[in-house]
Structure 1
Amino acid sequence: MAQADRRLTMLVQQAIPAVDAVPGATAIALDFETASQSPGSICSVGLAWIADGQVARTAHCLVRPHDMRFDPWHVSIHGIQPHDVEFEPEFPSVWEELLPHLEATPLLLAHNAPFDIGVLRAALKHYDLAQPTLSYLCTVKIARAAWPDLPNHKLPTVAEHIGFELRHHAADSDAAACAGIALRAMMDAGSSDLMALLPRFGIRPGRLEPGYHEACSSAAERRTAFRRHRPPPWLR
């Protein structure tokens, strides 16, 4: 894909639907793109809803970062520039539309969840918004458990493995790939319930509540933390 065409795909927006427009959703995959190293500098949000065993809906919103500071390295990754978001709403407006979905479907998915959950928490803190109550899973950990022989478990690698045509760093495509990874892991394991797979994979869901955070963790991470006799990272 030519660079100009690739950049245009990053700017196509899809509105967040009403909650009743995605009936029976069991999980929502989330992806953020940021304008700079500041963790709350959201410039793009991608979402994908899982319902009836498939990706039922996607959404993509451009967001005006609170300080409008764009780092050239970040721009080179996602192609979003300051003039693209100058007149877009800041995060609280998007959050107002997203929160009802998280309340109705309290399982969130993210590929490399420490990044996306960290971005979410930083943005909520910046705007003095309460953390929602939800559980979340990192599909990097799911992919490592489901397909340990892949050369790595970065999103492009796993997306190729499951046959997903990824537009990497287009937030809606990244979110849809994340949802597809969860669905394919379920299919390969012969399960229709992602949460039921977690004991087999040794994965513990992360948890967000107002004033509380526990990260998604693997059995190996918990064993390492125990051996080191220090507070594990998911409780920091």
Structure 2
Amino acid sequence: MHDQIQLPSLADTAGATAIALDFETASPSRGSICSIGLAWIRDGQVSHVAHRLVRPHDMQFAPSYIAIHGIYPYHVEHEPEFPAIWDELLPHLEATPLLLAHNAPFDIGVLREALSHYGQPWPSLQYLCTVKIARAAWPQLENHKLNTVAAHIGFALRHHAADSDAAACASIAIRATAESDAPSMTDALPRWSIRPGRLEPGYHESCSTLSDRASQRSRARLPRWLRQI
């Protein structure tokens, strides 16, 4: 479950159209990354998968989090901290037009917290939340948690193994795009009423749906004291 899979070379992933990303954390502190999973999409399929263990800066592991992902301090005590792995990952993000995450507010929040903790600038990237994609593609599902959607598309998920979670996220986007009959994921976005999120140095905009944006506009018209409730 905790085997490491090194990142492929940039040459090997040339032409990838998206990278799916999954973080596991050691504690409720969002910057406490202990595992990173990655999956590249090229030519409508998952072309590469990678998995790296990470040493959290404070090595504080919450028992409830260990129970979720099975990663103990001894698994990561000799691993590099996040900046070393970020140096490997960033060129891939810069070479690929789109980042994917299932429940992106969590994973993008983890990334922002980790970068800020280590004094690293936020990268410039566009991202999509595959929870929103799944809701648009399969509204009939009981819920749109990763394990539920993975089962719906027939993906054999090892839940909370970051490489498997990332591959499931990528597979959800691939299947939803195929079923939309759009020529590409980007072309499918208007059909799903989804706008990509953006991350740039000092700026963040969430991935949103048409209903999200309508709700935000309605809330913005409320008096300030009501918006704070």
TM over 0.5: yes
Matched, 1:27 2:18: yes
> How high is the TM-score relative to the length of structure 1?
0.92
Matched, 1:142 2:133: yes
Larger CA deviation: 169-178 vs 195-204: 195-204
Alignment deviations for residues 92-142 of structure 1 (CA, whole Å, 9 cap, x no partner): 011000000011003100000000000000000000111111100000000
Matched, 1:197 2:199: no
Question: CA shift at 1:23, angstroms?
Answer: 2.1
Kindly tell me the number of residue pairs found equivalent between the two proteins.
222
Residue aligning to 2:149:
158
Q: How do residues 101-112 of structure 1 correspond to structure 2 at under 5 angstroms?
A: 101-112=92-103
Question: CA shift at 1:211, angstroms?
Answer: 0.9
Q: How do residues 198-217 of structure 1 correspond to structure 2 at under 5 angstroms?
A: 198-217=189-208
Larger CA deviation: 220-229 vs 116-125: 220-229
Q: How many Å separate the matches in 2 of 1:131 and 1:228? A: 28
Aligned to 1:25, the other structure's residue is in SS state: coil
Q: How many Å separate the matches in 1 of 2:63 and 2:155? A: 29
Instruction: Determine if contact 1:32/1:42 at 8 Å carries over to the other structure.
Output: yes
Matched, 1:133 2:124: yes
Instruction: Determine if contact 1:203/1:216 at 8 Å carries over to the other structure.
Output: yes
Identical positions, percent: 67
Q: How many Å separate the matches in 1 of 2:52 and 2:221? A: 40
Alignment deviations for residues 40-84 of structure 1 (CA, whole Å, 9 cap, x no partner): 000000000000110000000000001000000000000000011
Structure 1 segments (4+ residues) deviating >3 Å: none
Q: How many Å separate the matches in 1 of 2:100 and 2:11? A: 20
Matching residue's letter, 1:193:
S
Q: How many Å separate the matches in 2 of 1:212 and 1:32? A: 21
Q: How many Å separate the matches in 1 of 2:221 and 2:157? A: 39
Aligned to 2:183, the other structure's residue is in SS state: coil
Q: CA RMSD in A?
A: 1.0
Instruction: Determine if contact 1:53/1:192 at 8 Å carries over to the other structure.
Output: no
Task: Give unpaired runs (5+ residues) of structure 1.
Answer: 1-8, 232-236
Residue aligning to 2:163:
172
Instruction: Determine if contact 1:33/1:44 at 8 Å carries over to the other structure.
Output: yes
Q: How many Å separate the matches in 2 of 1:195 and 1:230? A: 31
Task: Give unpaired runs (5+ residues) of structure 2.
Answer: 223-229
Question: CA shift at 1:230, angstroms?
Answer: 5.8
